[in-house]
Structure 1
Amino acid sequence: MNYKVDKIDNQTVEILIEGEWSKYEKQAIDEVKLSAELPGFRKGHIPEDILKSKFARTISNKVLDKFILDKYPEIINKEDLNVLAQPTVTDIKEQEGKISVKLSVPVFPEVEIKKYKGLGFTKEDYEISDEDISNALLYIANKHSKVKSADDREAQMGDLVSIDFKGFIGEKEFPGGSSEDYQLRLGSNSFIDTFEEQIVGHKKGDEFEVNVSFPEDYAEASLKGAKATFKVKLKHIQDIMAPEIDDDLAKSEGFTNLDELKTYISKKLTEGRERDVNERLFNQIIEKIASNSKVEAPDILIEREMKNKLEQFSKKYKREPNEEEAKLIRSNVIAELKEMLVMREILKKENIEATLDEVKAHIAENFNMKYEDVVSSENSSRFIAEIESNLKIDKLKKFIISNNT
């Protein structure tokens, strides 16, 4: 097989492939002949010379597809190219039974990491307090709560109220600021500012205004620091009656007594806090490594991620981002891609892999299935590849943290 690979830039290689046309032409003609339809001829019985004349473009496209499919994967494997996306055909030449195809291939850029060990980060301390455990117990108790109507009295903190509301900035109603029959637990701090406090003291059927200010760091840029008025109708008030936090509550959750439940809560809170601390630490370290590395985010990935992020923004805020917001989104996308490429490079340098035993154990623990049953199911290769990727990232996180603290 004759081919040549040239590096165009840090994101692109060009592959020139040469080969025999006739080998693939015969296959293409046979395939087209089976499906081609032409007045005066039965399907599958069109003479070859007429077929080549009337369906020349179709045959030519099939020849090209077969030629590339036959040669391209072998070249990629032989040259160990880290391909990002499908190649683009930039030139085709056919002459005297031979074909020459030039492909532009997007590849992962080379990454130069100066240092990724011994950066001297400090892991933050944490502890699980009695208040943390009490809050968790209160949450569990609330799950077993019963409600009764309190429409005959004023709303109080702790009540579950049903409200209709519409939000206005000045005289203009703003998107996403309205709802009907919304269930709100007063005191849950689900709403901004003193929204919930201003409902306290009102009775069923009251219609009133709530005046609040959005925080300066609010996610929606157009509402940051804005003063808003909500027109509210209080439709129902319910009193929430939570059970006592005692052994009976613990037994309803499957534990022997309250002390056993507290021990379990402490264990789970510790595990969760450890994950949060490690995740923040890992992100800080990777950000530092990426900032000190020579790494270029590929254009094709930037545009792909930008499309996804802009769609998510529009879906969430019901509008397109302004120029400043779009710039911030793009900046974050580029930073995330650079960090991804740095992580990918460290995985390769340290030869971090997920073993088959680890994959099997993960499937058994998290999905209560046997590996053999998963392999025999549809789309198993993608599912297993995702598990392997997640296990490798988990290993990478542990490696990065242990080598930089």
Structure 2
Amino acid sequence: MTETLNEGLKREIQIVVPATELDSRLSARLEQLKGQVKLNGFRPGKVPTAHLRRLYGKSAMAEIVQELLNENARKTLEERGERAAVQPNFELPESEDETGDILSGKRDLAYKMTYEVLPQFTVGEVTGIKIDRPVAEVTDEELDAEVAKLARDSSEYQPKDGEAENGDRLTISYVGKIDGEAFEGGADENGMVQIGSGRFIPGFEEQLIGAKKGDERVLNVTFPEEYGAKQLAGKAATFDVTVKEVSAPVAVTVDDEWAKKFGIESLEKLRETIREQMQNQLNVATRTKIKRQLLDQLDERHSFELPPTMVEQEFENVWRQVTQDLERSGRSFEDEETTEEAAKADYRKIAERRVRLGLVLSEIGEQNAIQVTDEELQRALVDRIRQFPGQEKEVYDFYKSNPEALASLRAPIFEEKVVDHLLTLADITDRTVSREELFKDDEDADAAA
């Protein structure tokens, strides 16, 4: 074993495995096979080794070489006291003659192992990090509004003969046009629209107020600038609408009997359940904001060299998501008022931040003996499996046979446990805010996170 490169976090090691060792391992492997293989003309365990070598020698040697690569990588890192940032890369002989001789046990296995090591750094001061914790409580008015919304959403509708009013549901056929030409995806023979729901293009629902069954109307609307379909965003359009039916909601009596429709024994219990769900949403938002503050300050307190391959892999993950989102929405970098080059530079910084914080949190977790228990990992696996009804066994088998996939479930649990530990050391000041302020958009912070 000879080190041929030691530059920053990059390492390159030249390793030679003598042909005699390869041949010795192959002989041992073939001896094992003797008692396992069944060949016509030979009694069990009596197949000559030379015959086995001709039949299985190269395939057995290929397995031995793979085992040696992994074994030597582990041994090399242990002896050097290093931790690889990513899986080491092996540069093996490429010529068929060399490969053939190695698999036949006639030539030394000489190869190059390259890898990047995890950086060594000192964790900055984490005690007393100042956190401003925005706290919001569900008000009675918000709870009443949510219960009323649930009542509206669970209402049954009955056809009526009069004019459509706010809250009524209409069955319509429509054809959307731009500059007089129908556009793709802009027609429906039996569309449903509830006036006041805000689910259609701005102005669409309002122009149906007063309509009756059988009415034909031409609605004039403008698609929002941020509309998902790029070819429609910001454009004026008309919709030729025919009203097929007007239905009014049947008034719901909000009482214990209504609550039982949701499998809950009383209205009081239903209100408690809804309040708890709403409060959980607020708590998640609070958690997100204080975690962002914590990570921002950790990022500011740490600066060290990052493994290039880790950064590149993280960037590729981020960039793939960005381009897929743009493709789905039909938008471009120009629509986002940037260029691909500038966007790549921004997202590479995000990738670097993620890698840096991942290493910092990992080091803090290790120093404080923070671990993910088998029970916690099992719960995460069960939650993941539930997302794929009908494919439970396939998903279970995939994660159990794929260490990297299982690690992807462990990582967020570990991160949250480290964050919890750091928050116990932080200087946290609670600040009461409204629901609106808690959910107020912060694009810069969202991008950084």
TM exceeding 0.5: yes
Per-residue CA deviations over 1:117-156 (Å, capped at 9, x if unaligned) read 5342311131211232123212432454222234x44332
Contact 1:175/1:318 (<8 A) preserved = no
> Cα RMSD between the aligned structures?
4.6
Distance 1:158 1:90, change over 3 A: farther
What is the correspondence of 1:184-203 to structure 2 with a 5 Å cutoff? 184-203=193-212
Unmatched runs of 5 consecutive residues or more in structure 1: 35-43, 369-373
Any idea what the Cα deviations from partners look like across 1:225-272, whole Å, max 9, x if unmatched?
A: x24314243444333325211121123333333223222222222122
Write the distance in 1 (CA, Å) between the matches of 2:23 and 2:274. Answer: 69
Q: Structure 1 pair 265/27, CA: closer, same or farther in 2 (3 Å)?
A: same
Aligned to 2:271: 262
Kindly state the Cα deviation for residue 83 of structure 1 after the two structures are TM-superposed: 3.4
Tell me the SS of whatever aligns to 1:124.
strand
The whole-number CA distance in structure 2 between the counterparts of 1:92 and 1:342 is 39
Counterpart contact for 2:311–2:351, Cα < 8 Å: no
Tell me if structure 1 keeps the 8 A contact 2:204–2:219: yes
How far does residue 100 in structure 1 lie from its aligned partner after superposition? 2.1
Q: Which structure would you say has the larger RCO, counting Cα contacts within 8 Å and 6 or more residues apart? A: 2
1:347 aligns with 2:356: no
CA offset digits 1:152-196 (Å, max 9, x no partner)? 443322123344556566567777666664433321222343332
The percent of aligned pairs where both chains have the same amino acid is 18
Match of 2:284 among 246, 256, 275: 275
TM-superposition CA deviations, 1:266-304 (whole Å, max 9, x none)? 222212211111112212432343355326571233124
Q: Is the 8 A contact 1:25 1:63 kept in 2?
A: no
State the one-letter code of the partner of 2:141. E
**1:136 aligns to what SS in structure 2?**
helix
Does the aligned pair in 2 maintain the 1:111–1:342 contact within 8 Å? Answer: no
Matched-pair contact (CA < 8 Å) for 2:171–2:192 = yes
Please tell me whether residue 302 in structure 1 is matched to residue 315 in structure 2: yes
- The 8 Å contact of residues 24 and 67 in structure 1, kept in 2 or not, is answered as no
- CA deviations 1:20-39 (Å, max 9, x no partner) are 135446878999xx9xxxxx
Q: Which SS does the other structure have where 1:189 is aligned?
A: coil
Q: What is the 5 A alignment of 1:327-366?
A: 327=341, 330=344, 331-332=346-347, 334-336=349-351, 338-351=353-366, 352-356=370-374, 358-359=376-377
Task: Give the 3-state SS of the residue equivalent to 1:18 in structure 2.
Answer: strand
Question: Deviation at 1:89?
Answer: 1.9
Matched length: 378
Residue in 1 that maps onto 2:91: 89
Please, what TM-score do these two structures have when normalized by structure 2? Answer: 0.66
SS at match of 2:271: helix
Partners of 1:180 and 1:80 in 2: CA distance: 66
Q: For 1:74 and 1:62, how far apart are their aligned partners in 2?
A: 18
Gaps of 5+ in 2: 34-46, 387-392, 429-449
Matching residue's letter, 2:262: E
- 2:421 aligned with 1:399: yes
User: Which 10-residue stretch deviates more, 388-397 or 172-181?
Assistant: 172-181
One-letter amino acid matched to 1:343? G
Contact 2:123 2:363 (8 Å CA) reproduced: no
Looking at structure 2, the residues matched to 180 and 141 of structure 1 have their Cα atoms a distance apart, in angstroms, of 28
Task: Say yes or no: does 1:380 pair with 2:378.
Answer: no
Per the alignment, do residues 90 and 20 of structure 1 end up closer, same or farther by CA in structure 2, a change over 3 Å counting?
closer
Equivalent of 2:237, from 229, 249, 253? 229
- Partners of 2:348 and 2:126 lie apart in 1 by 22
